[in-house]
A and B are shown apart, each in its own frame.
Chain A
């Protein structure tokens, strides 16, 4: 059952992105920024976490889930470390994913060569 929920919710979030892409001609980079900010705001309001509880990876894997992770992280840091958490929370919570993406992308640039276009 959790796979059905993950497929349906994750698929629907992508469909929202596709409709915005087709109807507004916004670039994919702009849509990603909008999705992350929206996920962060919904996370701040505590709404997105309910969707994660319902759909698991269907809500956490799409980019709004990344925004939600930032909101969760900033709240946790403020609870634990006070005001400085406002600045440290977001960065800390994305550290693992972003550092992994930097490392793997750098290694990929060593191994692979772009094909002629």
Chain B
């Protein structure tokens, strides 16, 4: 009896000590595995387009489109959001996460209509990414033009 209570306490202490860190490690491991796997699928698609005769730039564009299509389908089926609960950054950092961030609100807010629902909510996350990405590209462009 005594020894089992002691071991329970010990166990609880061990859990308390280990949990905050191990959660971050576990999250990182999952993000690494899922993010890495998505990039491998991208690499396989890239190789496929190049073998079919596409240039590197064309292959990159077709890969992005294929990944976006897959991600939107999985989002519509409710699979991508389940993956996101486990994989965290592993699922939202790749381009598939960007597509998910457009498709998920588009489907969810259909009930608010096609203008202010689908049309507007599609850009809740994608909008800021496009705005600040474009602004950054303008700054890069200005510097490049001046230094050229």
In terms of DSSP, what is the predominant structure of the interface of chain B?
helix
Number of residue pairs spanning A and B whose beta carbons lie under 8 angstroms apart: 270
The reply on A47 being an interface residue by CB < 8 A is: no
- The reply to whether A85 and B118 form a contact with Cβ atoms under 8 Å apart is no
The reply on B142 being an interface residue by CB < 8 A is: yes
- The reply to whether A6 and B43 form a contact with Cβ atoms under 8 Å apart is yes
In the complex, which residue of chain B has the Cβ closest to the Cβ of A99? B65
- The reply to whether A114 and B108 form a contact with Cβ atoms under 8 Å apart is yes
In terms of DSSP, what is the predominant structure of the interface of chain A?
helix
Name the A residues within 8 Å of B114 (CB-CB).
109
* Total count of chain A residues near the partner, CB < 8 A: 77
Chain B contact residues, CB within 8 Å of chain A: 23-24, 27-28, 31-40, 42-47, 60-61, 63-65, 67-69, 72-73, 75-78, 88-90, 92-99, 101-103, 106-108, 110-111, 114, 118, 122, 124-126, 128-130, 132-134, 136-145, 148
